[in-house]
Structure 1
């Protein structure tokens, strides 16, 4: 609203996303002094925020959509679903099909980031081997006789292959993917992404720029107000239940932490703003993220130090 009819109005999606990694990091600083319910709530907010932001990027910041090419990507998605129904568990094969779908969606005019959401939601979450069954298989391998002749050797190799498959299928594909990708995402992709998008020249006069102010207020006021009001509406209408140890003060503090929008906000800003405006938008993102982190941590520290019950009662009804 602050940029309606002005050069920065195309950047409305910049203030949508919450940086999951930074929010979790801020909560980790407080350790056990805050309830687990707040961590779950904030993680849920961050995930939904990111999904919404990616949908906005895919639809709002794409080019002209070529529907016939997009239809081909839908066929690819159907193929992935059929593979899952047939019980195909090869991650390599899913990577291959997923890469082809990514290229097709990118060529269709829709931003290809939506591919990650679609394929991520379709990844099987069910494991085929229970922990008890796995232990039974491993125990049976451990008591097998030594492979001292051809028949025993063949039986031993088959048992080992069975144990290998059981160990693999004791984790669902989504868990295996998470384990496989986490080091690359955490230590390579995210640092490179932040490094490539974070460059900004800071000038004290730029803080008065209308785009900087709009982005700053969108994160520091819009996010906490939105999180608080929609949480209140959800509880009031019965859509959601508020845990007893998750007070309204904690929800408000969490709303301020939701104003940390570093990485995804930078990505959207680079798509939305022209080269002459991007510097002002980045300055607003950085300053808002820093302010939101400090204020959110301060409120949570205040809640932890000065008595949880007293502060809870001041905000509860």
Structure 2
């Protein structure tokens, strides 16, 4: 019998007497799917499958049609006004804005409500992320300075959150929760840093009139929050206008997602005490046929529905709403449209491929470990309980998985003649980093288990 089966049966017995929602045939079909979506490694698995599919198709007889599909122009045109871009650009610019919005939401939740409320623990993740960005970029520039690929230094600065968390999930409870929190925080800060690099290092000429329009839009959003506007649809409408203004400004539009995510409130509108009081009012009405029309009891029911929704902060509500779409639609679609590359083994010794590989596989772990050690040694940061230096070193190896964000920046940084070499370096580095990190974590887990058994 599985070790968790007793807990499941006890939970089922405990809930047996509780009232449940009505069950329909469709529930039997959707329940297994919903359980799959809740698995921590599921998003990483789907992302991996779409990546492999893109690599297979781009090296098959259908490669030309597959790669040409993403260059299909889409948009609107009315007279002299034209707003079009390729399908790949829509995915990279518009869809990825939601990804960065979600990343910013997670960062704000961690800073205000989560583990990073402790400033010294937050400094550890920030220092590790900073080292994991600077050292790889320096390694890359040392190998590419003065060469055609010099502008690609930003490619090696990012860590792929989905793949890193997916790798940790494979090890389950064999690794401490402190490592998961550290790596998640590192990856989130890393992604924020990467989008700032995109905005500053790979933006075009700045149009200040468009920046002014975007600023006005942000002021409107802030005023809506102060006035108590709670319609998510309305916020998305105004946010879309801000995105258009930023897109016209010359700054990469995905920075909009970061700004709006950090502006999202973490306070809930309805307290737990008020929610219980409202529910008590609903329960006070006896069952019968009076739940129709604009009656007082029906108004109380509608109030209870709204109160139940508003007991979650906007940050939490938006995270719950966006996680499935980002993890199972946007990220796989991004990988499917960007991971296609014709593999030429001669490019394995290309200078760009080598520089990307060195930046991720060597620069990332060195930067993460060195900056973490300096932060702790200086007294600015503290290691959480259970996070040993060896575990942190293993996390540094996993940080070399730079897949999604690396592809994102590579598309901006490299010209068409170098992009395939850069992608090949990203794939190789991500694979080696994942294997090295997992092997070290498994070895540490076995050694820890043997140590505990010897102590017994």
- TM (normalized to structure 2)? 0.66
Structure 1 CA distance for aligned equivalents of residues 146 and 167 of structure 2: 36
Q: 1:8 and 1:132 mapped to 2: Cα distance?
A: 60
Whether 1:64 and 2:205 are equivalent positions in the alignment is yes
Q: Matched residues in 1 for 2:150 and 2:178: separation?
A: 36
Residue number among 179, 183, 199 corresponding to 1:38 in the alignment: 179
Offset, 1:166: 0.4
Q: Tell me by how many angstroms 1:147 deviates.
A: 6.7
Question: Which ranges in structure 1 are unaligned for 5 or more consecutive residues?
Answer: 312-317
8 A contact 1:14–1:265 mirrored in 2 = yes
Q: Which runs of 5+ in 2 are unaligned?
A: 1-140
Cα distance in 2 for residues equivalent to 1:184 and 1:209: 37
Q: CA, structure 1 residues 308+250, in 2 after alignment: closer, same or farther (shift >3 Å)?
A: farther
Residues 243 and 183 of structure 1: is their aligned pair in 2 closer, same or farther, counting only changes over 3 Å?
Answer: closer
Asked if residue 22 in structure 1 is aligned to residue 173 in structure 2, the reply is no
**Superposed displacement of residue 150, structure 1:** 10
Choose from 123, 142, 153 the match for 2:283. Answer: 142
Find the aligned partners of 1:310 and 1:121 in 2 and give their Cα distance: 44
Q: How does 1:1-317 map to 2 (within 5 A)?
A: 1=141, 2-145=143-286, 154-307=295-448
* Greater shift in the superposed pair: 234-243 or 248-257: 234-243
CA drift at 1:310: 6.4
CA–CA distance in 2 between the matches of 1:3 and 1:62?
Answer: 21
Q: Does structure 1 conserve the Cα–Cα contact (< 8 Å) formed by 2:292 and 2:298?
A: no
CA distance in 2, matches of 1:278, 1:33: 38
> Displaced runs of 4+ in structure 1, greater than 4 A?
146-153, 308-311
Deviation at 1:143, TM superposition (A): 2.4
Deviation at residue 292 of structure 1 after TM alignment: 0.3
Q: How many residues in Structure 1 have an aligned counterpart in Structure 2?
A: 311
Give SS of 1:64's match.
coil
Deviations 1:67-118 (A, max 9, x none): 1211221111111111112221110110001000000000000000100000
Q: 1:252 to 1:310 in 2, by over 3 A?
A: farther
1:191 to 1:143, Cα distance in 2 relative to 1, 3 A: same
Question: So what's the TM-score if we normalise by structure 1?
Answer: 0.94
**More displaced 10-residue stretch of structure 1: 218-227 or 199-208:** 199-208
